[in-house]
Amino acid sequence: MENTPVPYYPTTGNRRSQRVGIATSGGNAPALNAVIHGATQELNLRGHEAVGIPKGWDGMIERQRLIRLCDLSHEKLMALVYTGGSELRNCRTKIGYEHFPKLKRVIDGYGLDGIIMIGGDDTLGQAARLNRQKVLQPVHERNNRNTSMFIGVPKTIDNDVEGTEQTFGFESAVQAVRRQVIDMKTDTRTMRRLGVIEVMGRDAGHIALHAGYAGGADITLIPEFEIPAKEVANRVADILLEQEYCVICVGEAYGGAEGNEADGFGHKNKQDAGKKLIALLKEQLKTHPKLRKRRLHNVGTSLQVVGYDARDGSPVAFDSILGGQFGGLAAHLADREKYGRMVSLQNGEITHIALSRAKGGRVVTELEYDPVTMRMWNIPKGVVPVVLRARRKAERAMRGHPA
């Protein structure tokens, strides 16, 4: 007598097979495809139908033909784990009230029980709003009477989404920038120059902070901690006097650097942070007496702007795994009809929180960045407060105040 194999996920009760849409929106990020892989495979294994919505919100508004992800060959499904970009393609559209009627008609026509939405804080904020206002409804009534339509998966290389300790794509971006920092060090050491690497990240300095430390940048400057130009120049001078070259990793929004263009959500582009920093430092360094004595006051400069290439490659292993498991948990939540949630990394564990908590603004804190050394701390976060308390005590004593 043959043994009957145990099902992948045995279920009890009257569980209905669902048709679940998967969409990606916002900027590119390594491991978008890994999320699609994890969600699709998990939905397949649980007897649900996974369909892709091309071009994110644009695809919904334009009623693009759905892609039957559930029919992908094993080979194509496996390839999603390590390939960059999104097979479903993205958009940067802002959903307004004028889009609501068409969105409702299209989603009703798709016959979807729910949507796994992969995007940044803007995308997830829109999904949470649509949930809250009950604009879209699942095609079938759920056992738990939950009427939310979306499950969110946070995506951004900037790592600035509140509610999760890390987003997929961040590690890949850090690795890409780290390589640029190391290459810059090779060039500046050989040519005896001041090198500056300007890094993406919008108003958050996470990429610059991590890549600067891991790549051995002498100084890292991030928008969360503006340091007086004279202090930066003095630190650069000390480094030049010691080794005759210096490498600075700077976040693209440092010094309030801002362009004139803005996206549909009002985010202005960041530009020229590195260029402005070089000009400022050259002005400060040319009158430095010790540099003049060593003929280093007119040091040559190099500028490297790391733009979209930080997010356009294949994901590193960590992001492939994190993205895949983010997608897998999103599928699990859909299977359990727990819509209205966002996948999240909390205390090193992949879990989920209310989608309504998705927002931007997660920035680097004093527990991560040391403005004295102008780098990431060498000590873990739990020890940093001890050093900060000692510094503040010393500052009070220097000002003549009692401890």
Residues spanned by the domain of 189:
172-310
In sequence order, what DSSP letters do the residues of 237-249 get, joined into one string? HHHHHHHS-EEEE
Beta partners for 52? 22, 67
Which pLDDT belongs to residue 230?
94
Tell me: the pLDDT tens digits for 120-152? 999 999 999 999 999 999 999 998 899 999 999
Q: Please report how many Cα atoms fall inside a 13 Å half-sphere around the Cα of residue 256, on the Cβ side.
A: 1
27 and 79: one domain?
A: yes
Which pLDDT belongs to residue 11?
65
For residue 83, the domain's CATH number is 3.40.50.450
Per-residue b or e along 318-332, where b marks 16 or more CB atoms closer than 10 Å to that residue's CB: bbbbbbbbbbbbbbb
Which pLDDT belongs to residue 6?
72
Domains in the chain, number: 2
Those residues of the chain that have pLDDT short of 50 are: 1
121 and 27: one domain?
A: yes
78 and 209: one domain?
A: no
For residue 183, the domain's CATH number is 3.40.50.460
152 and 24: one domain?
A: yes
Q: How far is CA 294 from CA 246, 297, 303, 334, in A?
A: 15, 8, 23, 66
Residue type, 15: R
Segment 279-287 long-range contacts (CB within 8 Å, at least 24 positions apart): 280/229, 280/233, 280/255, 281/194, 281/229, 281/232, 281/233, 281/236, 284/229, 284/230, 284/232, 284/233, 285/233, 285/236, 285/237, 285/240
Q: Does 98 map to a domain?
A: yes
329 and 217: one domain?
A: no
156 and 209: one domain?
A: no
The DSSP call for residue 365 is -
**pTM to 2 decimals?**
0.91
Which pLDDT belongs to residue 1?
46
Q: Which helix (H) or strand (E) holds 125?
A: helix 121-132
Phi-psi region of 84 (alpha: psi -120 to 50; beta: other; left: phi over 0): beta
